[in-house]
Amino acid sequence: MTPQITFKEEQNTKTSIMENMKWEIDPSHSEVYFKIKHLEIVTLTGRFNEINGTAEAEEDFENAVFSFTANVDSINTNDQKRDAHLKSPDFFDAEKFPKITFHSTKFKRIGDTTFEIIGKLTIKEVTKPTILEIKYGGSNIDPWGNTKAGLKLKGKINRRDFGLVWNAAIETGGFLISDEVKIDANIELLKK
């Protein structure tokens, strides 16, 4: 007879794997996307191809500490001309400010597998408090014996708060791009 695992037992098993562990982002299985409105009619998506970071989780992820970095020069919107503009002083100024960083300051549970992370986001040497929602997707062991954990992050920022102020007026009275930027990330963590 095959033993049955209840949801509560499965949840406790997932939780116990996360206790008192140090993790690092597996960049080959992680992605950070941003979404912004263009011409007020369509949402464009871009990503950072080079990301890294660490997490330290204690006692059921409740007091986890996160640190993430994105390489600005790795920005990719599937359009080389737009990517070059985003890397220019009009936006990120990648040569002068090569990294975007996030460091958590508070982490709290808001649901069974959902957390709110409050931290400091730094873009172009401007640091602002930022809130992200995290959905814990579970943990598992890969075929090579590595313990992995999955997280889905989402949040939003006002780009102008970080000195990303370039824009252009459009004929209908609006602007070329929105101030609000949505952030989505799928993160696979590797136990150190």
What residue ranges do the domains of the chain occupy?
7-191
Tokens of 8: 């509560």
- What pLDDT shows up at residue 7? 37
Q: How confident is the model at residue 174 (pLDDT cuts 50, 70, 90)?
A: confident
For residue 30, give every residue at least 6 positions away whose Cβ sits within 8 Å of its Cβ, in sequence order, or none: 51, 185, 186, 187, 188
pLDDT at 59 over 90: no
Q: pLDDT (tens digit, 9 = 90+) per residue, 7-43?
A: 344 444 444 444 578 999 999 999 999 999 999 899 9
pTM for this entry? 0.84
Q: How confident is the model at residue 187 (pLDDT cuts 50, 70, 90)?
A: very high
Q: What is the CATH number of domain 7-191?
A: 2.40.128.110
Q: How confident is the model at residue 182 (pLDDT cuts 50, 70, 90)?
A: very high
Tokens 């406790």 -> residue? 12
